[in-house]
Amino acid sequence: MAWDAFLKGQLVFKAKDFKKAAIKPVTADAFLNTSVTKQVNLKLTILDGHKVRHFSHLTWQEFFASFYMMMIMPVKKFRKQLKQLTEDKWEVVSKFVFGICDSSVFNSLQNLVAASSSEDWSLKKGLLAEFLTKMSTTNIKQVCSWAHESNDPDIASSVASLLPDVLDLNDSSFFPDDVENIFFVLQNRANPLKKLFLSGNKISDLGASSLSRCLNKIERLVLQGCDIGSEGVRQLCDTVLQLKTPLKKLDISRNKIGDLGASLLACCLHNIYELKLQKCNIGSEGVRQLCDFILQLEKPMGLLDLCLNDLTDESAESLARCIHNISVLDVWGNNFTKAGKSLIRSKSRGTVRIEIRHKNLFDNLKQKS
């Protein structure tokens, strides 16, 4: 009854609806709210009206509709309904449908239907996984949400295997919950993403925490302007420290991580080849901490980008101490004096390249030893 009503957009049920579905009045009273309608020319009393019933909340009707779809509907009919899951009207029903893919949920519901539903349920899960893989490149946000809702490794693996190696989700209105959905999918991926771009999404420290749990599935991570603070950096660094394969690139530019965030990153520089920290409110103390750890690296860093942090000559002195262990240093948009820039240049040697841009000037120096 809930399924038929959902398709028709029906919210109010009359006696004929219950009769058609073979539902007894006592059952209807247990599950639905009852009210009385007034007929024309009759006084407004309970005896003058007709009883109508409705679910206490639309969500209940949508749940029973999804229950019918996953637990009772024939597989052939189910296949034909799949294309409608993306319609706005189906938003809640679709979530319930994928939620029933969770084996623990199915086990709780199975006692209410025939034992044969188990085989059909498995077939329907396979159809849903196939459905998601077909739309994975067009609506990644929605696909990851449904995969996470299913809590099913097979569905998540199907989606993860079809994600492109370079996943560009910049400015996609992603929030912490969306990042949690990506984490669920990525942890079921066999090979790591070559690049994940999430810049311009307000994922905050909470989203950074979710990402920290799947860093082993990402080679290069770009998080510019994501409202991440020092606590989010702490979560990322805790994982970076434990990586067996270093991150090839971590870009958290334009996040206000400050000196505390820089000091946290310093502790795991051995597992980050390229680090971009443009406009991160880092001062001389944060730079000093970074440089102290760079001095101890067994292999040179590929890139350190500290542009637009208003650094002064005090930071130039710190950088000069460790520049031999940095392949590329990018520090334009800071407040170095000529003396500070000269100090950095004087300490460069071998194949080290220094890039310093100040205002509209670009100075590229490559010195020979």
pLDDT in tens, 79-132: 999 999 999 999 999 999 999 999 999 999 988 887 668 899 999 999 999 999
Q: Where in the chain is the domain with CATH 3.80.10.10?
A: 140-366
- Please report, as a single letter, which amino acid is at residue 265: L
Q: What percentage of residues in the chain have a pLDDT greater than 90?
A: 71
pLDDT-wise least confident of 42-56, 251-265, 313-327, 348-362: 348-362
Six token digits for residue 36: 């009385």
Work out the average pLDDT over 358-363: 40
Give me the pLDDT at residue 355, please. Answer: 56
pTM for the structure as a whole:
0.84
Q: Over the chain, what is the mean pLDDT?
A: 88
Rounded to an integer, what distance in angstroms lies between the CA atom of residue 302 and that of residue 345? 18
129-135-141 Cα angle (round to 5): 95
Q: Which residues contact 13 (CB under 8 A, 6 or more apart)?
A: 1, 5, 28, 32, 52, 53, 54
Looking at residues 262-266, what average pLDDT do you find? 98
Between the alpha carbon of residue 168 and those of residues 94, 165, 282, the distances in Å are 26, 10, 27
Residue 162 in tokens: 């079809």
Domain at 140-366, CATH homologous superfamily? Ribonuclease Inhibitor (3.80.10.10)
Spatial CA neighbour of 352 closest among 366, 340, 363, 341: 366
Write down how long the chain is: 369
Q: Identify which has the larger pLDDT, 59 or 194.
A: 194
Contact 152, 125 (CB under 8 A): yes
- Lowest mean pLDDT, pick from 257-261, 295-299, 343-347: 343-347
Query: How high is the pLDDT of residue 352?
Result: 52
pLDDT at 43: 44
Q: Please state which of the ranges 203-207, 236-240, 331-335 shows the lowest mean pLDDT.
A: 331-335
Q: Which two tokens stand for residue 18?
A: 């219950």
Q: Tell me which residue of 193, 87, 75, 189 sits closest to 142, measured CA to CA.
A: 87
